[in-house]
Amino acid sequence: MNLHLESQGKTATLEGVSRRSEDSEMTGGTELVTEVRADAPVFAVLQTGKPVKLSGSLPKPVVWSPQGMASAVKTFLKACK
């Protein structure tokens, strides 16, 4: 499974395995499981402050709203150190 992310000319691709999420019986959700380094391009894409276009192994492309995303990513990366 892969997920391609794009925002403001920055791009990243995540590759991993798909599995049912822990609460999939309630949500019907699946998740992409992979490992990324703190300096992976995906974090630059998520911190542009602009909408993020998602494509890849999705039924159809999706656009994520940027509201709060950049600060959440910064907080996450700081906690990972």
Residue 57, pLDDT score: 86
Q: How confident is the model at residue 19 (pLDDT cuts 50, 70, 90)?
A: confident
Q: How confident is the model at residue 27 (pLDDT cuts 50, 70, 90)?
A: low
Global pTM value: 0.80
Q: How confident is the model at residue 80 (pLDDT cuts 50, 70, 90)?
A: confident
Number of compact structural domains in the chain: 1
CA 38 to chain centroid, in Å, comes to 13
Give residue 55's domain range. 2-80
Residue 14, pLDDT score: 93
Measured CA to CA, the distance from residue 40 to residue 81 in angstroms comes to 14
